[in-house]
Amino acid sequence: MTSIQSNRTNRPAKLGLMIPHTEKKATGMRRWAEIREVAEIAEDIGFDSLWVVDHLLFDLQDNDPPKGVWECWSLLSALAASTKTVELGTLVLGMGYRNPALLAKMADTVDEISGGRLILGVGAGYHKFEYDAFGYPFDYKYSRFAEGIEILHGLLKNGHIDFQGKFYSARECELKPRGPRSEGPPILIGSKGHKMLRLVGRYADMWNGFWDDLGNSPQGLIATRPLVDDACEEVGRDPATLARTVGVLIAEDGADPWWDIAPIDNIPATMGAPVLKPLNGTPADVASVLRMYVDEGVSTIQIHLDGVTPKTIEKLVPVIEAFDAN
């Protein structure tokens, strides 16, 4: 196994890896032993962070049965105890699945287990199928998220809140004990809608543009960046104080080419969008595109390697080395 952790100090931006815990046609359902092995290898070969998605049951309406997904917070807690140095993030938690005050408690606890390595990514959710299947309300998504993020932010940053809203309440609530960081883990919000971006400017430490929202290209980021900056300025925030992150899709040879089917029913980001194509080419080619994101102010890149396994992940080593060397 190749270890390149020593090169991290010269790295132009942090590199993250999406952990596989969603059922795929080609690979089936990953067991915990394989997920843990992927995480351990990723840490050893030099990734700075590991990321999990938050879904319960995924239906692409592609004539296949719905796909299973391991519950991400339970998985993240296990990864916190199974890794040593990598940051651990959610990309992103559906706020509607968990009470926001309890989520703040959960976040501080996982931050404690990990020794201060958690990045708490949250969003409003979009996949109605799983909301209906598991009995969660799907209406008033923005309003529910706005109340939830106010409670979550207040508890993590200040340790207390007294809030009564239409959907959530947290009356004279305190967060005790506190984890290793007095203001809790950083909050990341992934969105490009105007109302949500105003909440990003008000509450988030980090913003994420995922590959499906950005067309899996630096040009998509360039087009979206003014929207993020303008929203920050509208709420009186210096845009330079908001960290930027992006997700990038890379496909392993032989991966199921689901991206050739567009638009994908039930996935709003694909509606009216061009067919997505994964980033490919030589390690130098891939690293060059990743550098283009860095040139646009990105501080963390989350790589989604479609078809990632304990064997295929090491094929990213030349990409990481080229990224570090440029």
For 128-179, the pLDDT digits (tens) are: 999 999 999 999 999 999 999 999 999 999 999 999 999 999 999 999 999 9
Tokens coding 179? 């984890």
Helix, strand, coil distribution of the chain in percent, nearest 5: 40, 20, 35
Q: What one-letter code names the amino acid at 244?
A: R
| Reported confidence tier of residue 218, pLDDT bands at 50, 70, 90 | very high
Give the fold, CATH level 3, of 5-325.
TIM Barrel (3.20.20)
* pLDDT (tens digit per residue) in 175-217: 999 999 999 999 999 988 999 999 999 999 999 999 989 999 9
Tokens coding 174? 């305190």
Please state, in angstroms and rounded to a whole number, the distance separating the CA atoms of residues 136 and 140.
12
Q: Percent of the chain beyond pLDDT 90?
A: 80
Position 249 pLDDT exceeds 90: yes
Q: Which residue has the tokens 């940053």?
A: 157
Q: Which long-range contacts (CB under 8 A, 24 or more apart) does 224-228 make?
A: 224/192, 225/296, 225/297, 227/192, 227/194, 227/197, 228/192, 228/197, 228/200
Task: Compute how many other C-beta atoms are within 10 angstroms of the C-beta atom of residue 3.
Answer: 12
pLDDT for 8: 66
DSSP state of 239: G
Position 269 pLDDT exceeds 90: no
Task: Compute how many other C-beta atoms are within 10 angstroms of the C-beta atom of residue 260.
Answer: 9
pLDDT for 316: 95
pLDDT for 272: 47
Query: What 3-state DSSP class applies to 326?
Result: coil
| Reported confidence tier of residue 265, pLDDT bands at 50, 70, 90 | very low
The pTM of this model reads 0.93
Q: Which residues contact 217 (CB under 8 A, 6 or more apart)?
A: none
Tokens coding 23? 């059922």
Buried b (16+ CB within 10 A) or exposed e, 139-148: eebeebbbbb
Position 252 pLDDT exceeds 90: no
Angle at 108 between CA 173 and CA 116, to 5 degrees: 150
DSSP state of 69: B
